[in-house]
Amino acid sequence: MDFKYDVIVIGAGHAGCEAATAAANMGSKTLLITMDMNKIGQMSCNPAVGGIAKGQIVREIDALGGHMGIVTDRSAIQFRMLNRSKGPAMWSPRSQSDRHEFIQQWIKTVSNTNNLNIWQDTVKELVIENGMVVGLKSALGVTFKAKSVVLTAGTFLSGLLHIGKNQQVGGRISEPASFGLTEQLQSIGFSTDRMKTGTPCRIDGRSIDFSKLVEQEGENDFHKFSFLEESKRELKQMSCWITNTNEKTHDEIRKGIEFSPLFNGQIQSIGPRYCPSIETKIVTFADKLSHQLFLEPEGVDSQEFYINGFSSSLPLQTQINAIQTIVGLENAQLYRPGYAIEYDFFDPTQLKHTLETKRIKNLFFAGQINGTTGYEEAGGQGLIAGINAHINCHGGNEFTLGRNEAYIGVLIDDLVTKGVDEPYRMFTSRAEYRLLLRQDDADMRLTEKGYAIGLATKNRFDQLQDKKNVQEKLTNFIKNTSIKPNDINNFLVSRNSSELKHGCKLSDLVLRPQLGIADLAKAVPALLAEIDTIPSKTEEIIEATEVLLKYEGYIIREKLIAEKLQRLENINIRGRIDYASVQSLSTEARQKLAKIDPETIGQASRIPGISPSDVNIILVLLGR
């Protein structure tokens, strides 16, 4: 066996899988180290991918040449486009996955990726020489050499599980924790802290009375995650189910609050604000009489159900008592209880935008180790870390994404600029340019970038070019085709839209909120004929074209704003200023600028506590 590699990735979760396949597909000899080869890509919490802003990240991963979108489509058992009642900047894809099939698809992917080997083991120590990582040592006593190392340890670093007073060491339930790396990195000078997350119990579907629940079906239209034509949803599609807690549920939870690790001092670490435990909800929102819950199937051939909204670390009996007060769950049988888990993470301000650490060269961090939460945030980081780990081995310009280019760019810039004081979760509200970062145009934004660095395939690039050509042709047709009142007025009246008094272009009608391209094609034979010439992805192209036409003015304005602010991103300042000696800066500004050492003026301006006057002082210093 060869023990020398270009890139070694530690951990085979969502960050690790994307990092390893990215580095290998770009040409690096890569090793993926995991504790258990049967749990590659494990969905530790709910069996779902995507959601508000998270779905955009997955589409960006796919557009660049990553795999999460493909794996999700192949394991999908329900798909929904969230926020369809709002504008397209808010539309967010979400998919329920068959948990077992999701793992199997990732195993197939990593096992059949050229240049990628897998080793089942635990890493105990990094080998660092002259401020540079050069390899690692495993629990089995093997020393591997590497030019770059990507650490994606998830919740496994010093992981500790809580179920009431019961505590177990582990990275997930029934899985061992990892020790040694945190202590080593702390001794080198890395800043670390503890975070907390949790998961609900799992219920046997045979004990659920579905007749009392509200069914939530999925959408069986053309939408999916991957832009690749050959990626499809092929599994049986299943429903989720809705129920609610009630006052009896809350009373049972209150009886056990004194035994909750979150409230009796047993857990001291930082928990997620936007995905709180059920006991936190009862305390924080004491006036609410009920909380909505979603019962999500774990797979086509499984009876296991996930209770979305009921994350808990209460004692087992308290969990059972509370759950059995809920409509439809009166006879619920548990497969396993919910639990909280504490784990080590590293302050992400210690990273560059490439996700390489500032302190140790060629060492990259990605995923929950950086203080994030969610499969999607982890996958996006893993992809960027894997790309740059490869570049560090073979040369080339570092690969980063701007805040105006991708949600992944927003995510990483937030982490390395602002740090985290709670598990970071992506929202559309975090992006200044969310109209530019829609889920429908991720391929238009990013596939050419992925192809240029050797990650996106020629097939993916060619599919994009075909789509662009067809979409441009359809757009031009709609903008240049005229319509007369006599040819359309009867149709407009039937759609409660005002009649035309004069002829106009088809694009003017598309701008009306009641009308869409597919709708107009029913009344305009020439438009229907044009649509019939589209060889593939017809519905996808129609939707994307319609969005561009309806929101063209807003999109142009947002691009102009982004371009103006981009000038600050092009002014590099790292290493050019001794902030501690600049007395005209406030004490807070000097301390924060010295700690973060921002790469550009733009990044400096986003550091919490840095005022516009501080930015002006830096610009004056650069002028001198």
Mean pLDDT taken over the chain:
95
* pLDDT beyond 80 at 520: yes
- Tell me: the pLDDT tens digits for 394-449? 999 999 999 999 999 999 999 999 999 899 999 998 998 999 999 999 999 999 99
Sequence-distant (6+) residues with CB within 8 A of 152 are 9, 10, 11, 13, 15, 16, 19, 365, 366, 367, 369, 378, 382, 385
pLDDT confidence of 586, banded at 50, 70, 90? confident
- Tell me: the pLDDT tens digits for 136-149? 999 999 999 999 99
- Tell me: the pLDDT tens digits for 539-554? 999 999 999 999 999 9
Task: State mean pLDDT over 501-529.
Answer: 94
Backbone phi and psi for residue 518, each to the nearest 5 degrees, phi listed first: -65, -35
- DSSP notation for 475-516: HHHHHH-EE-HHHHHHHHHHTT-PPPSS-EEHHHHHTSTT--
The side-by-side arrangement of strands in the sheet containing 92-97 is 48-50, 92-97, 76-82
Number of residues in the chain: 624
Encoded amino acid at 444, one letter: M
Residue among 602, 242, 236 at smallest CA distance from 432: 602
* pLDDT beyond 90 at 501: yes
Task: State mean pLDDT over 583-590.
Answer: 88
What per-residue confidence (pLDDT) applies to 240? 97
What per-residue confidence (pLDDT) applies to 1? 64
What per-residue confidence (pLDDT) applies to 168? 94
Beta bridge partners of 94: 50, 80
- Determine the distance from the C-alpha atom of residue 232 to the mean position of all C-alpha atoms in its chain, rounded to a whole number: 20
pTM score, two decimals? 0.94
* pLDDT beyond 70 at 605: yes
Sequence-distant (6+) residues with CB within 8 A of 317 are none
E-state strands within 377-456: none
Give the 3-state DSSP-derived string for 459-482, with helices as H, strands as E and coil as C: HHHHHHHHHHHHHHHHHHHHHHCE
Task: State mean pLDDT over 330-341.
Answer: 97
What CA–CA distances, in Å, run from 240 to 45, 92, 113, 208, 444? Answer: 16, 18, 34, 12, 33
pLDDT confidence of 566, banded at 50, 70, 90? confident
What per-residue confidence (pLDDT) applies to 588? 85
Lowest mean pLDDT among 15-19, 383-387, 536-540: 536-540
pLDDT confidence of 295, banded at 50, 70, 90? very high
Instruction: For residues 34 and 37, give the distance between their C-alpha atoms in angstroms, rounded to a whole number.
Output: 6
What per-residue confidence (pLDDT) applies to 499? 94
**Residue percentage of the chain with pLDDT more than 70:** 100
What per-residue confidence (pLDDT) applies to 565? 78
Helix axes 458-480, 538-550, angle to 10 degrees: 50
What per-residue confidence (pLDDT) applies to 459? 97
477 and 531 in contact (C-beta within 8 Å)?
no
What per-residue confidence (pLDDT) applies to 275? 82
What CA–CA distances, in Å, run from 75 to 37, 105, 173, 297? Answer: 19, 7, 23, 13
Q: Which two tokens stand for residue 198?
A: 């949790």
What per-residue confidence (pLDDT) applies to 624? 54
- DSSP notation for 186-245: HHHT--EEEEEEEE--EEEGGG--GGGSEEE----SS--S---TT----SPP--EEEEE-
Sequence-distant (6+) residues with CB within 8 A of 41 are 12, 13, 14, 17, 71, 102, 103, 105, 106, 107
User: 363-365 and 143-151 as β-strands: parallel, antiparallel, unpaired?
Assistant: parallel
Q: Which two tokens stand for residue 247?
A: 């006052």
Helix axes 442-452, 458-480, angle to 10 degrees: 140
- Tell me: the pLDDT tens digits for 15-33? 999 999 999 999 999 999 9
pLDDT confidence of 611, banded at 50, 70, 90? confident
- Tell me: the pLDDT tens digits for 48-84? 999 999 999 999 999 999 999 999 999 999 999 999 9
* pLDDT beyond 60 at 220: yes
Which tops the pLDDT comparison, 564 or 486? Answer: 486
Q: Computed from CA positions of residues 60, 65, 68, 71, in that sequence, does the dihedral angle turn out positive or negative?
A: positive
Backbone phi and psi for residue 8, each to the nearest 5 degrees, phi listed first: -120, 130
The helix/strand count (H/E) of the chain reads as 21, 22
* pLDDT beyond 60 at 321: yes
Show the DSSP H helices in 213-365 as ranges: 247-256, 278-284, 316-323
Residue among 111, 122, 357, 317 at smallest CA distance from 201: 317
Backbone phi and psi for residue 30, each to the nearest 5 degrees, phi listed first: -125, 145
344 and 261 in contact (C-beta within 8 Å)?
no
What per-residue confidence (pLDDT) applies to 274? 76
- Tell me: the pLDDT tens digits for 154-197? 999 999 999 999 999 999 988 999 999 999 999 999 999 999 99
What per-residue confidence (pLDDT) applies to 572? 87
Residue among 391, 531, 552 at smallest CA distance from 470: 531
